[in-house]
Amino acid sequence: MYHPQTYDELAELLRNENIKLDTIDTSKITDMDSLFEDSERKDFGGIETWDVSNVTNMESMFWGAKSFNQPLESWDVSSVTDMSSMFYGAQAFNQPLNKWDVSNVINMDGMFEEAKSFKQNLDSWQINKDADTEGMFADSPLESKPPKWYKKR
């Protein structure tokens, strides 16, 4: 088991695709900004086991990770405040997220922009009244059929 204490230690582990994601203890990590940006990784198995309960920043986490499509519904994202561009261009991603507690997220700008496969129902999300949702679903299937709470600016 690997126990990174910092963002840099985690990022270094992720450079080695032979390390299985379920062998990484992420419980001390607070920032996951751009961790898999433009990742060529094919095997994301085990990422669903990550403890992300202390993470506050998931900005651009899967930006351009074209083959990413792992279930993340079990993640506790209740501490996250920034999910901007989190799945931007993650073309294969289409997993349920309706159980996520996103009530503390302030920045959702472009969160699913260009996520060409994402068609999940997010009607159950309780959105922070101050959340920036600008372009949240731009160029994605949900742009034409967004969740009930979404207000296009």
Helix (H) or strand (E) holding 11: helix 7-14
Phi-psi region of 143 (alpha: psi -120 to 50; beta: other; left: phi over 0): alpha
| Ranges in the chain, pLDDT < 50 | none
d(CA 137, CA 81): 18
Closest CA to 84 of 108, 58, 100: 108
- Name which of 57, 51, 62 is nearest 7 in CA terms: 57
Instruction: State the Cα–Cα distance between residues 18 and 136, nearest whole angstrom.
Output: 33
Torsion of CA 77, 80, 83, 86, to 10 degrees: -50
The domain tally of the chain equals 1
pLDDT of residue 152: 74
Cα 98 from Cα 93, distance rounded (Å): 14
Per the structure, the complete domain to which residue 26 belongs is given by: 1-153
Question: What are the helix and strand counts (H, E) for the chain?
Answer: 1, 0
Helix, strand, coil percent content, the chain, rounded in steps of 5: 10, 5, 85
Residue 145: CB partners within 8 Å, gap ≥ 6? none
